[in-house]
Amino acid sequence: MNLSNENVIHVIDGEVEYIQFKRLLDFPEVVHAFGLKPLDYRAHGENNQNVPEAYAKLAGSIGVEWSSIVRPGQKHTNHVLVIESKENQEAPDMFLDYLKETDGLITDKSKIALATTNADCIILLFYDPIKKVIASVHSGWRGTFQKIAQVTVRKMKEQFGCQAQDMIVCICPSIRVCHFEVEDDVKDMCEQIFADTGRLEEIIHQGDIKEGKQKYFIDTILITKILLEAEGVFPENIIDSGICSVCASEKVHSRRADGAEYGLGTGMIYLK
């Protein structure tokens, strides 16, 4: 399965496979990738050894020092942290206390690779080519409902003087409306939070009744685009991979498709 399309290219470098956004490839000062199978960026077991190894292989393939990586704890919050420097100098910053309650990272520093992981959740890669600011953000449905995309834009504006119209935001492979099936609890929450968009009919779609329960499908990608545009990001600067992690689970890690032993993909971005 080759995932290349009008917005992304699928790169195969031995056992390392990843996609890159054509739009970001226009900026030589930025390096980025979204890591695919067969590598797994999830910690399995107590020693977490597979995680640094997987990152080292991906980083090596795209020309990034593996020790430059910073990865948040990802607790489905809307907490976005500005990274001024790394704590570890000879190894990635992973599983560290200062990152535990964080789901997004922003920096304007060179030689720091920001990396978030997913297995259906949305990963957003931000770049402001004017202010030279990057961000990598994990936005599961809880983070999406907490409007982490808007939190990121606002923090980039406040901390670095970025303008929303300059920002490029790339949406990595993630679960799409075709497979994000929920019940009344999540649907009702979605209605309450996003009623003011006036677009609930586009966001929420009624599904089948299964085992006596009404199911719904929610378009979290559309929600994310609405949130970004409301903050001033130009629609043409929101670049969607268009890849569903469930539909493309042969290459993309997916909790819904792969079950309890699912792995993780990663979205990484780095300023040279």
pLDDT one-digit tens code per residue, 32-61? 999 999 999 997 765 556 677 899 999 999
Query: Count of residues for the chain?
Result: 272
Do 104 and 191 lie in one domain? The reply is no
Do 214 and 225 lie in one domain? The reply is no
Do 153 and 214 lie in one domain? The reply is no
Do 113 and 234 lie in one domain? The reply is yes
3: in domain: no
Cβ atoms < 10 Å from Cβ of 34: 28
Please give the sequence-ordered ranges of beta strands (E in DSSP) within 48-180, or none if there are none: 69-70, 80-82, 104-107, 113-118, 122-128, 133-139, 168-171
Q: How many domains does the chain have?
A: 2
CA distance 55 to 147: 28
- pTM, two decimals, is 0.97
Cβ atoms < 10 Å from Cβ of 161: 11
Task: Examine the pLDDT at 20 and tell me if it is beyond 90.
Answer: yes
Do 88 and 116 lie in one domain? The reply is yes
Position with higher pLDDT, 50 vs 20: 20
Under a CB-based contact definition with an 8 Å cutoff, are residues 119 and 264 in contact?
yes
Instruction: Dump pLDDT digits (tens) for 173-182.
Output: 999 999 999 9
Query: H or E element: which one contains 51?
Result: helix 50-62
Do 164 and 129 lie in one domain? The reply is yes
CA–centroid distance for 44 within its chain: 21
Instruction: Dump pLDDT digits (tens) for 76-117.
Output: 999 999 999 999 989 999 989 999 999 999 999 999 999 999
Do 267 and 185 lie in one domain? The reply is no
**Which has the minimum average pLDDT: 46-50, 144-148, 160-164, 178-182?**
46-50
Do 73 and 206 lie in one domain? The reply is no
Task: Tell me what the mean pLDDT of segment 163-170 comes to.
Answer: 98
68: in domain: yes
Task: Examine the pLDDT at 200 and tell me if it is beyond 60.
Answer: yes
Do 72 and 124 lie in one domain? The reply is yes
Cβ atoms < 10 Å from Cβ of 61: 19
Under a CB-based contact definition with an 8 Å cutoff, are residues 80 and 155 in contact?
yes
What is the domain range of residue 241?
A: 8-175+220-271
Under a CB-based contact definition with an 8 Å cutoff, are residues 183 and 209 in contact?
no
- For residues 97, 101, 106, 110, the Cα torsion angle rounded to the nearest 10 degrees is 20
111: in domain: yes
CA distance 35 to 268: 8
CA distance 17 to 11: 6
| Cα 166 to Cα 17, 57, 157, 260, distances in angstroms | 30, 32, 11, 40
Task: Examine the pLDDT at 207 and tell me if it is beyond 90.
Answer: yes
Cis peptide before 38 (omega within 30 of 0): yes
CA distance 257 to 119: 9
208: in domain: yes
Which pLDDT value is given to residue 28?
97
Which pLDDT value is given to residue 44?
73
The DSSP symbol for 231 reads: T
212: in domain: yes
Do 145 and 191 lie in one domain? The reply is no
Task: Tell me what the mean pLDDT of segment 175-195 comes to.
Answer: 98
CA distance 72 to 56: 17
Strand, coil or helix: 93: strand
